[in-house]
Amino acid sequence: MKTYFISGLGTGASVFDRLQLHPEIEFIHLPWLIPEPKESTEHYAQRMLDGIQYPEQSALVGLSFGGIMSIEINKLAPIHKTVLISSVKTVDEMPALFRAIGWSRLHRIAPIKLIMRDYPAIYYAFGARTKEQRLRVREILNSGHPEVFRWSIDQLLNWKNRTVIPGIRHIHGTNDKIFPHRYVKADYLVPNGPHFMVSSRAAEISEILNQYLLSTEASF
């Protein structure tokens, strides 16, 4: 099965490097595009959808903000199977603080390079505890494009979706600092899984993905 993966906040495909996918799952990274001036999430999703062949026969895996884009893509053309990892399905699953920051627009005046390199705060938010995990986080952040990062932050903080897409599966960690699991209705909870669990708990995430994507049933 062709399976398209969307990473978080404009970062590259390397965040998925540690997944151990079954040979029958064809990994395709759906790259982030440079946003157009004042581009909406909906318009951006349409441009990303153009990179998916035969959506009704394909799978989509969205990580963090990539999960939000997966929701928007499904609104335009329902995908055969969609999985969110460390993400949210509607604005109601996001912390109220996010909406407050989005309303204040403070993120629009903050230096983007400073945000991307505030490593201690990012390590905490991602749940990167070991030296190796912190190095991985830095490498992944450095792989992102600043324009895409700024646009993604703005869209994340101002996302207002309340449409529940049927059939979407959600994997979430109980120790996610960015999207606390108490707000999230997940299909599969990873005990003590941090936001960065796609890397630090790759074996468990791989097992869940392999089981669901290769199954004939639309459930875990």
Domain boundaries, the chain: 2-213
Mean pLDDT, contiguous 10-residue spans, the chain (220 residues): 92 93 97 95 97 95 97 96 97 82 50 56 78 79 81 91 95 96 96 95 97 76
**Which bin fits 64, alpha (ψ -120 to 50), beta or left (φ > 0)?**
left
> Across the chain, what does the average pLDDT equal?
88
User: Residue 58's CB: how many other CB atoms inside 10 A?
Assistant: 19
CA gap 212, 220 in Å, rounded: 6
Residue 219 CB coordination number (10 Å) = 8
Domain 2-213's class?
Answer: alpha beta
Tell me the pLDDT tens digit for each residue of 166-203: 999 999 999 999 999 999 999 999 999 999 999 999 99
pLDDT in tens, 113-135: 555 555 677 777 787 778 888 88
Q: Which residue has the tokens 């999230």?
A: 184
